[in-house]
Amino acid sequence: MINLLRDLIESMPRFWKRIILIGFDVVALIAALWASYALRYAVWMPAVTVERVFLGVMAPMVAIPVFIRLGLYRAVIRYLPDTAIWTILRAMAIATMLWVLLVFLVEMAGRGIVPRSVPFFYFAIGVSLIGGSRFAAKLVLSSGTGMRRDEQPVLIYGASSSSVQLATALRGTGNRYVVGLLDENPDHHGRDVGGYRVYNPAILPRLIDQYGVKEIILSLSSISSDRRKSVIGNISGLGVKIRTVPDITDLVDGRYLANQIREIEIDELLGRSFVPPDPKLIGSILEDRFIMVTGAGGSIGSELCRLIVQWKPKRLVLFEANEFALYKIERELSVIRGLEIVPVLGSITNEMRVRDAITRYGVTVLYHAAAHKHVPLVEGNALEGIENNIFGTETVAKIAFESDVTDFVLISSDKAVRPTNVMGATKRWAELIVRQKALESNSLGKKKHFCAVRFGNVLGSNGSVVPLFKEQIAHGGPVTVTNPDMRRYFMSIQEAAELIVQASALSTGGDIFLLEMGEPVRIGDLAENMIRLAGFTVRSAENPHGGIEIKITGSRPGEKLFEELFYDMANALKTQHPKILRADATAIAHHDVNEALAQLRLAVGQQDEAEARKLLFDFIGMDPNSPECKA
């Protein structure tokens, strides 16, 4: 019945809601005056006189304009604050005093006397009826009953003022019904905060079973990242979805929408400490520069472009071989006014196309992100991987060396360290090509900075396991893992872009920068955490009735059990940025890179994949103590 009444009120136009409210107040005020006389004379039906009828009619006629003036009909009942009672008291006090003035005029005219206690009764009963009706309506409209079929019981983890504000906001929007709050402080257990019972997280399994909770919302913005990680870990295996909200200060500052409850991202469980970007470093390399990004439509390239446009370069050239990817990023960035965006469709292996793009648009800073990066695909298409990743890098670096480009940055990979697959080997070759160009630049006295930035996996990037796991979970599994004991480094795509740009600003030429990636993550643990964060349990021999199974498929060709960022950890030097290390690359390879490139090009030209693979790995398969392997 209450649900039916609530739905009827919610569907009613605002105009008719006000008419009904005014009508109720008229009846309530007349009833309050009748009750005042009844209390005064201690009779159920006081005598009806012309004077009393006149004063009874005038009571609402005097009060309603006062109520309108003080905003009693502007407030949305569902969100009526508790402090509204003071407005109701003030409105009723003013209305009572005006009514007493009318009583005085009636008495002056000799039309009868009103007992002095009646105005006091009228005020008290009027406040009770007017205020009580509004707060009763608020209770009906805003509080969930827990019985509606479309209501979803949720718990909020946290018992701060922000948590109460979140619970209050949820009462009036969507179909979430807040069961209560969770807090680890034993002093709060069993108490009511803002009208919500505070529970001990230790009894969370019982609460989930008792109330049918399907979702827990974290309101823990003030705690440390390690503590947050621990909380998520404790509740992620209970078969409920875990979501979070922005800091309440961000809501106040307008940086988020109030309904921006979002899912926990897997990068929040990586335990990485966040270091804000250095605006001086970024500004020195990007502001008022003519910049080009190869592979601008890819995951890393597009994120670099989004960062670059925030720093007001004079021109940004988007070089991309994929037509749709280029269209997409160009369309996204073209809405920014005052910035020249130039989309160029072409392959990095096309020397004429690359040269035209660099020289025509006066490029001075070049981020080379274009590459084939998917390990199994490149392993199965080795000649194409060599052509694009090695010869393409040679082409772009050569033209940059011959043109006005002053800063060249290669986006490399941790797979370039002691590579066991074609993709990693091609990336190592690309690093050596860039170092070769840096040495040539130094020997000729050119002020050009050629460097490479090496890092691990980027969450959400093209080919990453994270989007694959998300897709498999969304389809009900199974989640396929090649080897659960594999360990990989991960970082967010935004952090990667910021660190790449800052590293490029630190380059003195020939550097290989290494981004600090934190601790490597076990892939089996990553899959389990993602399943639990989605609100499922892992199906296994110990838990045969779990939600989603993890299926082991076996390692693919070229995959390593562990990835490394360094050839020699002792050779990593600190920079002014705590998340960026520099490999000492002062010594160049004793082998002739240009000669090796010529031999490799001959094998690829003859489509001799076996010979190309042999040359590819022989050239970089050197003694670990050699200068090449110090980086």
Task: Check residue 222 and give its pLDDT.
Answer: 59
Residue 451, strand partner residues: 409, 511
Q: Print burial letters for 38-62: b (CB count within 10 Å at least 16), e (below 16).
A: ebbeeeeebeeeebbeebbebbbeb
Question: Which of 114, 142, 170 corresponds to the end of one domain?
Answer: 142
572-574 vs 580-583, strand pairing mode: antiparallel
Q: Determine the Cα–Cα distance for residues 446 and 222; give it in Å rounded to an integer.
A: 50
The tens digit of pLDDT for each residue in 454-503 reads: 877 776 666 667 777 777 877 777 888 888 887 776 777 887 888 889 88
| Total domains present in the chain | 3
Residue where one domain finishes, among candidates 118, 142, 166: 142
pLDDT tens digits, 174-197: 677 788 888 888 877 877 776 678
Q: Report how far apart, in Å, the C-alpha atoms of 390 and of each of 372, 423, 427, 594 are.
A: 10, 10, 7, 12
**What integer pLDDT is reported at residue 17 of this predicted model?**
75
| 473 and 534 fall within a common domain | yes
Whether 147 is in a domain gets the answer: no
Which one-letter amino acid corresponds to residue 64?
Answer: I
Print burial letters for 322-342: b (CB count within 10 Å at least 16), e (below 16). Answer: beebbeebbeebeeeeebebb
C-beta separation of 394 from 433 below 8 A: yes
- Tell whether 60 and 201 lie within a shared domain: no
Question: Using one digit for the tens of pLDDT, what is the confidence trace for 249-271?
Answer: 544 544 443 445 555 555 555 55
pLDDT score of 579: 77
> Is residue 350 one of the residues assigned to a domain?
yes
Domain containing residue 529: 279-630
Same domain, yes or no: 424 and 497 = yes
Does the pLDDT of residue 565 top 70, yes or no?
no
Report residue 389's pLDDT band, with 50, 70 and 90 as the boundaries: very high
pLDDT at 71: 78
Percent of the chain predicted with pLDDT > 70: 78
- Structure tokens belonging to residue 199: 């529970």
Residues 247 and 298 in one domain: no
The dihedral through the CA atoms of 203, 206, 211, 216 has a sign that is positive
Statement to judge: residues 15 and 156 lie in one domain: no
Determine, yes or no, domain membership for 271: no
Q: Range with the lowest mean pLDDT among 10-14, 98-102, 373-377, 512-516?
A: 10-14
Domain contains 270: no
Q: Token pair for residue 444?
A: 């000729």
Q: Is the dihedral of CA 322, 327, 328, 334 positive or negative?
A: positive
Of residues 167 and 405, which shows the higher confidence score? 405
* Strand extents, DSSP E, 435-577: 449-454, 457-459, 479-481, 487-488, 490-492, 511-515, 521-522, 538-539, 548-552, 572-574
Indicate the pLDDT class of residue 399, thresholds 50, 70 and 90.
very high
Which ranges of 216-259 does DSSP label H, i.e. alpha helix? 225-235, 248-252
pLDDT score of 6 more than 80: no
Residue 111 sits in the same domain as residue 195: no
**Range of weakest confidence among 141-145, 279-283, 404-408, 519-523:** 141-145
Give the torsion sign (CA, 262, 266, 272, 277).
negative
pTM more than 0.85: no
The whole-number pLDDT of residue 255 equals 42
d(CA 132, CA 567): 75
- Interatomic CA distance for residues 73 and 26, integer angstroms: 13
The tokens for 558 are: 């070229």
Q: Is there a contact between 509 and 438 (Cβ–Cβ < 8 Å)?
A: yes
Is residue 273 in a domain? Answer: no
Q: Is the pLDDT of residue 341 over 90?
A: yes
Please tell me whether residues 221 and 198 are part of one structural domain. yes
Q: Which residue has the higher pLDDT, 302 or 229?
A: 302
Q: Do 501 and 508 contact (CB within 8 A), yes or no? A: no
Q: What average pLDDT does the segment 598-623 reach?
A: 86
Q: Is the dihedral of CA 231, 233, 237, 240 positive or negative?
A: positive
274 domain-assigned: no
- Shared domain for 115 and 208, answered yes or no, is no
Q: Are residues 33 and 134 in the same domain?
A: yes
The predicted pLDDT at position 320 comes to 95
Asked whether residue 283 falls in the same domain as residue 371, the answer is: yes
Q: Residue 181 has what pLDDT?
A: 86
Q: Where are the alpha helices (DSSP H) in 371-516?
A: 375-380, 382-386, 392-402, 422-443, 465-474, 493-505
> Among 257-266, 324-333, 485-494, 589-598, whose mean pLDDT is lowest?
257-266
Residue 306, number of CB atoms within 10 A of its CB = 16
Distance, in Å, from the CA atom of 217 to the CA atom of 625, rounded to the nearest integer, reads 53
User: Per-residue pLDDT for 142 more than 70?
Assistant: no
**Cα(592)–Cα(586) distance, integer angstroms:** 16
198-211 pLDDT, tens digit each: 888 888 888 888 77
CATH at 355: 3.40.50.720
Residues 191 and 311 in one domain: no
pLDDT tens-digit series, residues 269-298: 555 555 677 888 898 899 889 999 999 998
Residue holding tokens 């209050």?
Answer: 168
Evaluate whether residue 441 is within a structural domain: yes
Write phi, then psi, for 481 (nearest 5 degrees). -125, 130
Q: Does residue 91 belong to any structural domain of this protein? A: yes
Of the listed ranges 104-108, 148-152, 254-258, 416-420, the least confidently predicted one is: 254-258
For residue 336, what pLDDT band results from cuts at 50, 70 and 90?
confident
Looking at the structure, tell me whether residues 170 and 133 fall in a common domain: no
* Model pLDDT for residues 410-465, shown as the tens digit of each residue: 999 888 888 888 998 999 999 999 998 988 888 888 888 999 998 777 766 666 67
Listed residues 142, 165, 187: the one ending a domain: 142
